[in-house]
Structures are given as structure tokens and as C-alpha cells.
Structure 1
Amino acid sequence: MVNSLGFFTIGGTDSHDGMRAVRAWRVIRWFLCGWSLLAIPTFYGELTATSQGTLTIARSVYLSMFVVFALCLLWMLHASKKPKTWLAHNRLDVTIMIGAAFSAGWGAPPWQTVEWVLRLLFVSLVAIRIVLSLKGFFAPNRLIGLLIAGAGVLAMAGAGFLWLEPRVHSYADGLWLAFESSATVGYGDIAPTTPASRVFAVFVVLLGYGMLSLVFASIAAAFIGKEEKALRHEMHRDIKHLNDEIGQLRAELRALGESMIPSSDAVAEAHRPAPRDQH
């Protein structure tokens, strides 16, 4: 099944492509998801780099990300029976691979406007890929999993603000700013002031708003599910009662029909000629 966002798709492979491709994708998708997760802190590490060593590490991660994506794509193209179809269903991974190659070679901050736009586009596509790949684990009916995932996102966002925002002096302040951002409250007591923290706040708002929407939708679905379960139970009971009544009516109609049809002996007796008088 293809997960898509317009032109960009991450469909993996389907059962018609052969078991070899299916088994390969079961392993490869976790490699791609893991290296996608590394791209987010690498982006901010490069953005806040204060030394050439930090910048070199960030570019090395981008370069290794390009290599991993390229090797995985080549593996899948070799394993797939329909490589062109598979490639068309995974355009997002191809785009991220190209973006990682360019990110490994472009200039150091401060970036120009065009580079800002391209890098933000790249990290946005990486975030989209992470969401699409983990979408199955965040189904609206999994309340406990959603709460755990939301707590994890909030914890990581608090650490991110502590790292990126100079006005945040403690982890508690970072958590508070992360909650304000994800809940779109905006009290104004703490606000992002640096380009890195503002960009980070954008992703926290989008991701946090999505997580909160899923949590509230899951809670609502839980209450509605109870009512639907009671309604289905009542409908099944009524249907069973109607089936019993219909069966009883059929039995009565069958018995009535049998009583109205004369037996074969009675019909033969009725058609037998009357005996003549001997006298």
C-alpha cells in the first residue's frame, strides 16, 4: 500500500512483487527510517556549528545518509521484479538521497536565502518521511501508544529548546516552551529568538499539533466506540429476536399449508366410484 503526499510517495513494495523484494523491504525500511531520524539533529548541529570539527561531523552524517539510501535503493531495485514501478512508488526516498548529497557539499552557515529554502525543504521532506513510515504505529485507536509517543516528542522538544534557545536556562523551561509551542498556546513568557530555535519551533508546532489531534481523536473514539458497541449488541439481539419470530411464522405457515392439503388416501377415496346397488 502506498503512503503518499502528492508527488512524494513511500510505498515500499507489495506482495505481487515477489517474496524476495518483500523480505528485503522489511529490513531496509528500518535502516532508512533510522538514518532519516539522524538528519534532524544533524541539521541543527550544522546550523549551530561553532567549529570546523562540528561542521565536518554534520557533513559526514549527510554523506553517510546518502550512501545508505543509495545502497538500500540499489538493493531494492535488484530484488524487485518491477524496479521501475518500485522506484515510482518511492520517489520520496530518491529525493531525500539527492538532498543528502547536496547537504553534504554545500557551504557553512550563515546560509543564503536560496540555501535556507532548500535546506528547510530537505529537512521537511525527511520529517514527512518519518511520519509516513511510522503512520501505522500512530493509529487513532491506540491511545496508550499515542500518549507515550506524545510524551517522548515533548521530552525531545524540551531538550532541543534547551540546546538551541539561549533564553532557556533549564530543562524544565525547555519542556514548558515545548508544551506552549505544541499546544499553540503562546503565553509569551518564553519565546524563540534565534533562527535555529525558531525553525525548531515550527516543527514542534506542526508535530505537536498533529500528536495532540490524534490523542484527542483517540479519546473521542474510545467513548464513541463504547456507544457503538452497545448499539451493535442491541441490534444483534433484535435481529436474533426477529429471526426467531420469522422461523416460528414459517413453521406455522408450513403446518397450516400441510393441514389444508388433503392426503393421497383421501383424494383416492374421493375419486373412487360409488358401489352400484345389487338389487
Structure 2
Amino acid sequence: MASPLPNIIGLSGVGPYENSRAIKLGRAFEWPMIIVAMWIVFEWYLQSKAERPIAVTAFTDWFIWGFFLLETLVLTLVVDNKKRYLINNWANIVIIVAGLPIVWETLPNAGGLRVLRLLAIFIVLVNTSGTFRKIMARNHLGPTLAVSFVIMVLAGTMMAAIDPNVETPLDGIWWAWVTVTTVGYGDIVPGSTAGRFFGSFLILMGIGLFAMLTASFSSFFMQQDEKDAIREEKNNTRRLAEMADRIELMETKLDRLLALSEAAQQQNSSASSAVKKTDAGGD
């Protein structure tokens, strides 16, 4: 049974009850949304470290806002029940309305509304949860590694933005990697309350992520063994079939030889009977 949490927080995406076209378009927006979410985190890091506003963010702010608007409009047009879709995805509407860049430029105190765009990360995680379940079910190692990489980059960049002990996104990605894998070298540790809180969340999430990777690797090697066993079984089946064909051919030849032998015996018997009759008539 599906959890009602995505609907409550307005992050449900396109439901499975919608038409196939809407579902396909919803899945098509997943990876672009992941890229946008990664840029949002990276932009947040740049703005937190910069002493003055960065010019490029003015363009990317409008681009990100336009992407949210495009996704919402396209999916609203293709779904069957538009009202239900908008209600279940009210967070998108909040991001579009409150995240309009011109509002931040006109009202400086409204700059805090940028934080609303971080909801995009949760939108990505929630809306692609079905994809993650499919990856887990089918044990696709490649997509699993790709998802893990995305999580490492997002977590590391966010950590570099919120914790003073993490100076660069590369340091944050390194910290996220050793944290999730439970190695914990201790060369980089969070020093702020926010960083420790986020680190605790990543550790909790890393337990499931690392378990997913371990299961995927195990399944990958098991599938290789199964493929080898299936291939060997097919070879054995083919050999048995060839042996059965040869035995059948030998039986056919034996039947012909027996038939020829019986025919020869009958001819010999007939000839012997004729010779006996001839000899008896001569006497």
C-alpha cells in the first residue's frame, strides 16, 4: 500500500492511475530534475561562500524557475485528473509562485524564499522512489551506482555549504563517501550543529544505501553464476538432443537392416522350398 506522505507534503508526482503518456512524461522529467537539483545545491554553495552576488546565478535562477514551470504545465496538461494532480503536487506551485526570481530582486527580505527550491531535492527523491524500487527489484548495478553517485554529490555539496569544517564540495563529497561506506577516516568532521545533524541523517540514509549497493553487487555476481549455469544447462540440453537424434538415426538404420534381413531370409526360404520341390519332381 502506498504511503500518504508524498501527497501530504505535495510531492507525489504523476500517480500510477494516470494515462500511460503522463507516466512516461513524468519519468522523462526525472533525470533532468536530478540535474537541476544538483545545480541548486551547487549554486547554494557558491552563494554561501561568495562575498558578493554571482552574475551567473541571475540567469540560472530564471532557468530553474522556468524548468519547474515547464514541468508543472506539461504534466498538468497531459494528466487525466488535473485537479487531483495539482492538489497532490502543491509544493511545485509554491516553488513557482514564491520562487519567482523577480520577487527576490524587488524584495530583498524575500531572498530567504530561495530555500524553497531545496524542496526540489526531496521532489526528486520522492518522485523517483518508484524507480529506486525497480532498481532494487531488478538489481541493475549500473543505475544503482549512478543513484549512489548523485546522492554523494548532493550530500557533499550541501555539507560544504552548511559546515565551516568542510571547505570545498570535493572535501564534502569525500566526507560523504567515507561516511556512507562506514570507513570514517576522521580527516574531515562536521563542526557545527547543522553539519552534525545533516551528518546523522546521511549516516542513517547511508545504511540503506550501502545495503542496496551490497545487495546489488551480490545479485550481480549471483546473476553471472546463474547465467553460467543456464549456459551450461543449455549446452547439456543441446548435447542430449544431439545424442537423442543420433540414437534415433541408429534405431532407424537398425530397423532397415532388420527389415532387409527378414526379406533376405524369406527369399532364401522361398528359394529353398522351390529347390526341394524341383528335386522331389525329378525323383
**TM-score (norm: length of structure 2):** 0.53
Equivalent-residue separation in structure 2 for 1:22 and 1:132 (angstroms)? 12
Match of 1:190 in 2: 189
Residue-by-residue CA offset, 1:50-86 (whole Å, 9 max, x unaligned): xxx99xx999899656533431223323xxxxx24x9
Contact map agreement 2:34 2:121 (CA 8 A) in 1: no
Pair member with larger Rg: 2
Q: CA deviation at 1:176?
A: 4.6
Distance 2:196 2:71 in 1: 29
Q: Deviations over 1:131-162 (max 9, x none)?
A: 5568888974445x755664564345333222
**Counterpart for residue 75 of structure 2:** 73
Structure 2 matches for 1:254-269, cutoff 5 A?
254-257=252-255, 259=258
CA apart distance, 1:218? 4.2
Partner of 1:94: 89
Q: Residue 168 of structure 1: SS of its match in structure 2?
A: coil
Identity fraction in percent: 18
Could you tell me whether the CA contact under 8 Å between 1:150 and 1:208 is conserved in 2?
A: no
Contact residue 33 and residue 124 of structure 2 kept, 8 A: no
**1:243 positional shift:** 1.1
> Paired residue for 1:243, among 230, 241, 244?
241
- Any residues of structure 2 matched to 1:78-157 within 5 Å, and which? 83-84=80-81, 94-98=89-93, 100=95, 104=99, 124-130=122-128, 132=130, 140-143=139-142, 150=148, 153-157=151-155
Shift of 1:234: 2.4
Distance 1:206 1:125 in 2: 19
* One-letter amino acid of the counterpart of residue 89, structure 2: V
1:224 aligns to what? Answer: 222
Change (3 A) 1:68 1:120: closer
Residue 114 (structure 1) aligns with: none
After superposition, what is the alpha-carbon deviation per residue over 1:13-35, rounded to whole angstroms, capped at 9, x for unaligned?
99x857xx688668655655555
Q: C-alpha displacement at 1:202, in angstroms? A: 5.2
Question: Larger helix proportion, structure 1 or 2?
Answer: 2
**Bigger relative CO (Cα 8 Å, ≥ 6 apart):** 2
Query: 1:170, 1:122 → 2: CA distance?
Result: 22
**2:103 counterpart residue number:** none
User: Out of 178, 181, 197, which is 2:179 matched to?
Assistant: 181
